[in-house]
Chain A
């Protein structure tokens, strides 16, 4: 059984790089295994259905819908204006505003693409109008968008939590400090670049202006508060928090800001279902393939191979970092996550690495992968918005990768950055 599975995996890796839908390659590998190894073929459907039959996953489409609603509710402008009012007076103020707005919006959307596509449009327009270099605006916007899935809510963390059986609530809370650190690190870089490039300063805001901008953004700013307070007080599970926050976003868009009408809701829901379909086709296929791997003892074999290299958790984490950063250059994040979780997570548990810590390292690596060429979905989105070529943004992103990698190194090497807050607020 084991050798059959290894053979199948060998073929599978080759086929994977020929570009078929990834779910298709996984279900075919699984089906070939099931049909040739005389396993009851019922398993194929059973595993697929059981993957989706999870209350945790119900949060995924709700967070996707919430992102769509927020981007359609005119919230992005208000948040960016508010951020500009706070830090616009600094040298290169719009760069700082960009990062601050990204951090705030990260508390309302769970995906880097939603963040780049929605808020990014506003940010790049403002920076272009203020004569900031367009390459810098684009690179910064892309890098800041990766904060989106680190600060809760987060679609990748829902998928990770459900697939690796880690508490989604803890993963969410664990993302707060790394997310804020990413923002701060980007702002430090912005200060240097602003001085070197001689970027403009904005006006110091008067108190009435600050107050107006705050009032205009207030209800939008309350979204993360509703979400986090509900989850932390134990009132809501992450899934329920997702539903409440989505309802809140709908009320905001439909009745408070009146920025879109209910007629558009079915279209937004259909888009959400399509995206959910893309994610869940992968989730379900990965469950089937993961089952086949487990029954043919592949995780034990690869685990043993990995631990012969070293049994030092730090060394293992560094190996995982290098591997994930490499994979993230070529593969979409959630797909890569689902393929690699059954291989990498058991070893981490055996070495005594905290599951929440490992989850954050895992997710941050693959989110950095969304801004690394040749395959970086956020780079595609931002190059479209900024109307610059993919090659150009691939160069423009380089300096902004440094702060992200510094934060990655920090959370890898110093676990309290990720484990302290969830332990404090939720407990063990």
Chain B
């Protein structure tokens, strides 16, 4: 089980890096084709945008994995340990609830877009929305992980990304 999760996370990280690299490459490609070969492509901007949608959702789950999302910690930091623990459990439950909504609605919208064509690419829009249920699954996983850690170890350590 644990090995399976580690493997899924590694795969997700790898996928995200590849998608990011392609997004970066596609923007560069567009510039080179336009100015060096005077032959712009129509689909590069659109592809970069969709890859960014994927990157955003995958990055969202990674930030949840590391518990580095931004929050206002002034009040929570001054609470006794028991209060903080309860708040943390509450947020995990709330994340779980939202992730389930995201999964259900994500599946519906993904299926609805099965035969919707992208504007300049010969793909179905399905591919863009597919990241929503995928990210929702990971969010559910992390919410469950955090809840069980609070039960087992007393609390979780939450930090904040520095933007």
Contact = CB atoms under 8 A, between A and B. Distances in A.
A280 B71 contact: no
Contacts of B20: 61, 269, 272-273
Interface string B96-136: 01100110011011001000000000000000110010000
A374 B163 contact: no
B44 to A, nearest CB: 10
Contacts of A279: 163
Interface stretch (A185-193, A211-219, A235-243, A253-261): A235-243
Contacts of A385: none
A247 B27 CA distance: 11
A330 B71 CA distance: 10
A23 B69 contact: yes
B76 A18 contact: yes
A239 B27 contact: yes
Interface string A30-56: 010000000001101110110011110
Contact of A17 (B23, B56, B75): B75
Interface string B69-98: 111111111000000000100110011011
Interface stretch (A332-340, A349-357, A407-415): A332-340
A235 B35 CA distance: 9
Q: How many residues of A sit at the interface, in one of the four size bands?
A: 35 or more
A278 to B, nearest CB: 4
B148 interface: no
A20 B163 contact: no
Given A61-B20, A280-B59, A53 B49 contact: yes
A113 B56 contact: no
A334 B163 contact: yes
Interface residues of B, number: 59
Q: Is the interface of A mostly helix, strand, loop or mixed?
A: helix
Given A31-B101, A273-B55, A20 B50 contact: no
B91 to A, nearest CB: 4
Given A28-B94, A31-B101, A332 B61 contact: no
Nearest to B105: A45
Contacts of B5: none
Contact of A45 (B59, B61, B94, B109): B109
B109 A42 contact: yes
Contact of B70 (A27, A49, A117, A278): A278
A266 B70 contact: no
A155 interface: yes
B41 interface: no
Contacts of A53: 49-50, 52-53, 128
A46 B109 contact: yes
Contacts of B23: 58, 61
Nearest to A111: B163
B161 A49 contact: no
Interface string B2-24: 00000000000100110011011
B63 interface: yes
Given A53-B49, A54-B49, A235-B35, A332 B91 contact: no
A49 B17 CA distance: 20
A65 B23 CA distance: 13
Given A24-B69, A55-B49, A377-B163, A270 B28 contact: no
Contact of B106 (A45, A155, A331): A45
A49 B98 contact: no
Interface in A92-116: 111, 113
B17 A282 contact: no
Given A44-B105, A375-B72, A55 B45 contact: yes
B49 A58 contact: yes
Contacts of B27: 58, 62, 239-240, 243
B48 interface: yes
Nearest 9 pairs of A and B residues by beta carbon: A277-B59, A19-B76, A21-B69, A280-B56, A243-B27, A277-B63, A52-B56, A20-B91, A277-B60
22 contacts: A16-B72, A20-B94, A21-B71, A21-B91, A22-B69, A22-B70, A24-B98, A42-B105, A49-B128, A52-B52, A53-B50, A53-B128, A55-B49, A57-B52, A57-B56, A65-B24, A113-B162, A239-B27, A270-B17, A284-B56, A375-B73, A381-B162
Interface of B: 13, 16-17, 20-21, 23-24, 27-28, 30-31, 35, 45, 48-50, 52-53, 55-63, 66, 68-77, 87, 90-91, 94-95, 97-98, 101-102, 105-106, 108-109, 112, 128-129, 132, 160-163
